[in-house]
Structure 1
Amino acid sequence: MDDESSFFERERDRLTAEITTGFEELLSSSNNLNRKLEEVLGMTREYETIAALWQSFHELMRGHRDEDDNSGEADPHGLPGTGGHVLTASKSGSGGGGEQQHEA
């Protein structure tokens, strides 16, 4: 009967050690996952800061453009390099030099 109990105890100890190793690996993997998630959240916070900076720059530039529009100038909307800049082509009436001249 001592042989059976010693076999049982050995098997129990082996299984307990195997379970302990499994839990240690699980804990290590969970810690690694948490670190990666914290890195991702940190990066999104950095992008939010950059996006807020560009948003304030955009609003500032829009304010300058609105001031220019209110001053009576008829400049095309948009800034060069942003995709919103529009070049106006002059319409030639009857032949001529390509630009219309308006008499004041």
Structure 2
Amino acid sequence: MSLTGPSLFERERDRLSAEITGGFEELLSSSNILNRKLEEVLGMTREYETIAALWEGFHELMRGQRNETLEDRAVGLPGTGSHVVSTNSNSQR
């Protein structure tokens, strides 16, 4: 450093160093924001997996009840539209 103050080179170096430092701080801040958003997305994905598992269980339960209902109808309950009065042709005589 000279007695008259910082030279043009030193002032430019300090300005560029400050600009680079500011750029790195902004990059770090943006990276942190991106990481938080990615964590949120991953968390939501896990929540959707839980909800999907609940709906799958509900679907299996309803399908099981539907199959039981269809089996009951196969027996021929009156009022269900599947009741057969007689299938034996000998009983009609």
The Cα of 1:12 is off from its aligned counterpart by 0.8
The Cα of 1:72 is off from its aligned counterpart by 1.3
Is 1:9 equivalent to 2:4 in the alignment?
Answer: no
Give unpaired runs (5+ residues) of structure 2.
Answer: 81-93
RMSD of aligned alpha carbons: 1.9
Is 1:54 equivalent to 2:20 in the alignment?
Answer: no
The Cα of 1:74 is off from its aligned counterpart by 2.6
The amino acid of 1:54's aligned partner reads F
> TM-score scaled by structure 1?
0.67
The whole-number CA distance in structure 2 between the counterparts of 1:12 and 1:75 is 88
Give unpaired runs (5+ residues) of structure 1.
Answer: 77-104
Counterparts of 1:1-104 in structure 2 under 5 Å?
A: 3-74=7-78
Specify which structure has the higher proportion of helix. Answer: 2
TM-superposition CA deviations, 1:31-75 (whole Å, max 9, x none): 001000101111111111111101100111001111111111135
Count of residue pairs the alignment pairs up: 77
The amino acid of 1:20's aligned partner reads F
Q: Secondary structure at the match of 1:74?
A: coil
Q: Which residue pairs with 1:85 in the alignment?
A: none
Runs of 4+ in 1 over 6 A off after TM superposition: none
The whole-number CA distance in structure 2 between the counterparts of 1:18 and 1:69 is 76
Larger Rg: 2
The amino acid of 2:41's aligned partner reads L
Return 65-74 or 11-20, whichever deviates more.
65-74
The whole-number CA distance in structure 2 between the counterparts of 1:74 and 1:32 is 62
